[in-house]
Structure 1
């Protein structure tokens, strides 16, 4: 009870913080706040697919907005437009396809966004590196959320589907953010300049400015209002992969004869301004200082007022930190402000400008902060926004929830005494009833089970089997409508879950990574598994890759990792490298902690060029972390899906291609890594392209992150909300008998090879439902030549197809070993180079 109460209070405080500081509210497509008349489109397929049906998670009409014509490649004629009525700060977008209860299967794989603040001038959204394409949906069901970096300030937003070939697309969308209470419509200023520092070029331009840019920036918004501010050292950035000086807009004194930089800020209406806050760099050792003086003029109607406001900041030569300088504006009324910032040294650099007024005392920057900044927030931080429109309602709801939970706690305490007395009796009754029900059905299927049991290997991890017999129906028959089948399927699913749980409990790896198919786990030969402790402060969070039941996996940037890679760290230098960090939740059970430490011990001894390597650990304090390699090109599934096969005859314009020889090279590396694991009697149990990472020169390394990533949620079959199984990659004996062996990994390799040669363009058995996939495994068991195999890839020659097919042989002992697979692929690759 104490634990529950403390967590309630903790979550209450967290929700208050989130409600007050994060601008990521749904803006009303799903909730209905955005009216039908505010949603329009370039065209519509029919009245039932009109623009008003393009609401996320709504199935009205035919389930989505669909344009009138088939979308042409790279065409931007079709769009879904949303009018937010007022300016909003949009930080996140969500998209979904059209399902319509199985009657539709259209979605936008990619799209672009355009936005406008006045409805006349439209701007194409670009990310911080200039890209315009946003990756959309992979299927019509799942909601795909994408952060807008940088966020946009707009009233009108258009979603524009982009396709590589002619196809029908449908979309449901939602926008996330909050109302733009500041009202800043644009700022104009001289264009940022370039600094040369020790032969290093520092680019201080406004990269994301959406107005006109030549010698000056005119009528737009950009980095000075994007919700992010720079570090103390202007040559560095918390954003990965950008150039030095990215966070700042800067000017040199020598380019301005007047000795000052003039900036003009235009607002949506006349406002009563109280202050302006400017985030400035102050590395005076390099000739960069905060401005010496600022003079601001105000315009309410058409002319500028003659009386300006002047302000001089306090000069502190001992403080080199970047800072916000607050300029008092004296409650002046204006719809535009023109400020002249005087140089106090060779350079002047700004990363954020914020205005406060009596009706909107908030900052212009409401978006997500740069990573690493939360520790620098102060009470007067202008990026700390409170959205009063939703906070009061949220607080009221939270208080009501707490009252209800407290009442529930009182009831629990009152019933606790007599509930314990009834607990034993209830369990005994439940066990008796369950035993009687299962016994009756086991007797009914005893003769059918005996034939299946004889097939089970004596070394099987458990002896339960799926009851297949003379009344087994073909996959084309509607088995799901049979009451008898429903009960059999329920037993079957529970058996799989129980078996899978039994196997996991016997493994040293709680995250279901490299695992052993026996209770006694042999450690790989090699040095002791202990690794050096890595300093947590040298890890910089970049992206959350996924999460599981007991922890999370993060993509991080590690500084100084070369000291921990003594064996193969040559050539890395002092540059930070990308790593994957698997963490264990602080509230994990003792068993989970022990399993996590065992996994560290085992992975520390794995040494193979095609297996992800454990580099270091953080175990001296919670949360426990293991740091592994991460390849810069991501996982193989996503990598291949972005490519087309060379000489495929299709339109290859602007699409990267990959050769068949390279695909075989990748498959050979996977076989090599699996050959190493099999030599140690390790069973992976989840081999697939999603669990293979791609590095430079198409280097492949096997990992185990797929199950924890939301991106591949559709690849796993969930059993009654508990266990998840990659059934489309599993052998028939793994599904029906619960056997996970080297031979079952060979089966999964065959599927992985099929994925590779099809460039991951579709899911294995994509034309079969999950239930039909399970039924098809029954046909493999019966072995009456009725089983369905994966189709032959278009580029697959006879020799490789024969090897692939041999991985799916019914008899596990007849499947090839990984050593044979590896040697066969090596020979085939050599023949390709000879030809």
Structure 2
């Protein structure tokens, strides 16, 4: 119990920061950064002190103003203490407006930062410039992205002027906590690749903020911690950069000598390390491969010596797939404040773009081997008696204390443990009492207002614990809450079989006509299957498949020879897998009449291949096999089809149809509505008949899924693919593609949810049913008739979309609906509104939607 509480209090840090998602206000405007943490080199008056430098606030005289007029040579600064290491990505500034009486602002400024409060580092952008252009008036805020971002605790804003001016500033910072805890890494300086026929590619750490000594970089952070993941081709970059290879740091084998590179990592405090993730390039055609193995040693404290026993990991090398990938190195829960790793070459070059760590702070004490002064030199150790409290490199002999002293200490420890257990039991009982009291209000609300049909049979998609209905923000964070598989099995065994049919069975049938209030506890303890699949794509919600049933023997799809798959392009990726465009040689003969059409060269078939990476966990492997089993059950003209698999050896692969016309979102956004003008100018266009026929096809595919009690949970135009004949096939690739990353809302770095397409009960209650798919179908119809020109609720932020779902729950007439598309006939918009009805039982079924749309469509 005590161990469990410690693990709860110290959750795992996120494995990777995304600068595009790490953009939360850090607390200047809302006051989370306290006045005591805001200081300045000087101030003009008390009413223009540093505590008034808060964006969009008008306290005091409206801003921070340094004393006197600022000379070009002056260095005045506003300093913020963030109280923890923070990943800062954006800075916003304003001048002094003071209710229209102010006229002072900073036209330029510089940044200086410090992770320890002693060593200050000037920030530079990727072109080497320190100056940031700021305000042009006193009231408008100017928001500047930091490239590269800053990892710091202390930050100084230093106004810059070319002439004598009075300047005043209000600021806000944006970012998120730096949970990795990494404060510095050291490594050999990067090398430059020069090969005939290729551009010169400097692979140095160009944003490193430490020092360089003896061809090593020391004491800083740089591109390996900037959150930017390099592309498969290391000479290309994700955005405009000053030179090729900017996103990577690389080393040449013959330039280093020993066949490995040695890196050292220092952390803010002692941590218990679970794993290290290294994003490595694997472009083996140019002599670049993932490292063959890695060996790491640990230092429990900065003043201690390196431990003797290393952690070693051997990589499963892949010579067929040139994609860059993450390699997860397990660190066996070792305790350390510093780690030294040797990465061994597998080819001429080794190139990294990101390194991150998963750990917990305040680790439990663990038994560790004795320490030694020279790590990596020996894999054996002399037999030595070591106690759990060993912290030095030698064990000294001390006289044994009296027996009475040992007994007293033992009794004291036992009493302390007993008292802790009593306190823990009391807290658990108290918390259960509080939960029972708080459940009464929400259950009464559900009974009177929500009127949802709750799942109760083992074939229904399940949902997460519902702790509170007071805040939509709290509810949405429950969607990825794990529960124990054993508990889930027991709950499903108790649930009565209430039959199938559309959406969910009536709750009164499931509880033998008991009240809804008494049935809510069963619903509150059920489990939601995670939205992400191992390849980054959505998986269907279906009756639970146990791990025991997920053997290769149960897979009905045929085993295809993997050597006949020729990789052409990476279409998307997830945490443990990737989606590739491939040519399958001989697939027509292999599948016979069930083969898809030939590609243009008439000798091979284009297919999409989902592949599990070599570093996938056992859970990911089971999920991948489960996904194959799910896909093999689907057989409909409007559903993407599983053709064959490669599961007899690693890496595991599933081969599906490939749609040459891409997804519906991209297809429609590149076209205009058909008219005389489009015909005259040969502009790609679609007619209203085409749009209606597309809607009919999607409804047909979803009707088929509903007949199997399958719930898609991510229906959108990005997940509707088109073949050569413009036949639509519903897929699950959208989440894996970077192109649509903005369509998903990330929950504290864990699950990502398509909240703009989700029904209110899915966002607030974690409830996914066929009826919630109907809601998403209404949004998909809206996309079709806007030609995918804008995102649903484009004028609302993600947080406002979540709040709007709360308005649907409260049902007080303040909820916001998507407005009618200009091209949409009124009867079709009424059909969309029926899909968005608040009560599940009032929404139409896919069968009725399909019939209604066929009446509108001339082709059906």
TM-score, scaled to structure 2: 0.47
TM-score, scaled to structure 1: 0.48
